[in-house]
Structure 1
């Protein structure tokens, strides 16, 4: 059995980035157009912030956030419940030899951005920054 190839830590390859962006765009279109036949999912507006692909391109992790940031768990549950249909519909619009398995996680980028803004707004930090 062949040993699995792992990325050497230098970051994603161009191919990983290209496939991830294709999946992100197609997934966004599928969710916005309501192509998935689930009423719970159809009522949600979900943003796909980023998709990351594994080195072998068999797994794509989509980082999502419901509009307004509320009901995150319900959005994750609905997406995970419909993942096989989502994978089929997304793959139909892509010209890839194999459709990657799509996993869903909450995109916490916006939360980190808010935390960073709050830190920079702190009086002690502003004083330290202004002294430079």
Structure 2
């Protein structure tokens, strides 16, 4: 029992990582192909950067960003409106006992990457790194 608690705090399991990546690819394909019956959602280009899955594999949090970084509010409203259809479409490609509940969050990875680049290009930081 203590080992399971330790394992859960040490990061996601291999299974969580595999299922998360499978859901990410499947969700990306569904959104790119326009499989959802919502023309407003199909007009948007959405990048799915990562999917994190809960330890029981019942909740999948997709980190998404609209292409160009604009219309975030519209994107989230459309994803929420079509959540059940997206869940069904994604679950078709999975061999899990339960179709995971989909949650959507803004993927801020690209923003953090830009901040890091900006930080490393600063003269005082560059001096410290070079020395």
Q: Taking structure 2 as the reference length, what is the TM-score of the superposition?
A: 0.92
Alignment partner, residue 52 of structure 2: 52
**Separation (CA, whole Å) in 2 of partners of 1:60 and 1:8:** 16
Superposition CA RMSD, Å = 1.3
Question: CA offset at residue 8 of structure 1?
Answer: 3.1
Secondary structure of 2:65's counterpart equals strand
TM superposition shift of 1:93: 2.0
Query: What aligned pairs does 1:1-132 form with structure 2 within 5 A after superposition?
Result: 8-131=8-131
SS of 1:8's partner is helix
Q: Deviations over 1:56-114 (max 9, x none)?
A: 10000000011111111211111111101100111112222110001000100000000
Cα offset, 1:123, TM superposition = 0.9
Aligned residues: 127
Q: Which deviations, in whole Å up to 9, do the C-alpha atoms of 1:34-71 show, x marking residues without a partner?
A: 01111210110001000000011000000001111111
Normalising to structure 1: TM-score of the pair?
0.91
Query: 2 CA distance for matches of 1:86 and 1:10?
Result: 30
Name structure 2 gaps, 5 residues minimum: none
Relative to its length, the structure with more helix (as a share) is 2
For 1:67 and 1:130, the matched residues in 2 are separated by 36
Deviates more, 1:88-97 or 1:59-68: 88-97
Equivalent residue of 2:9, what SS?
coil
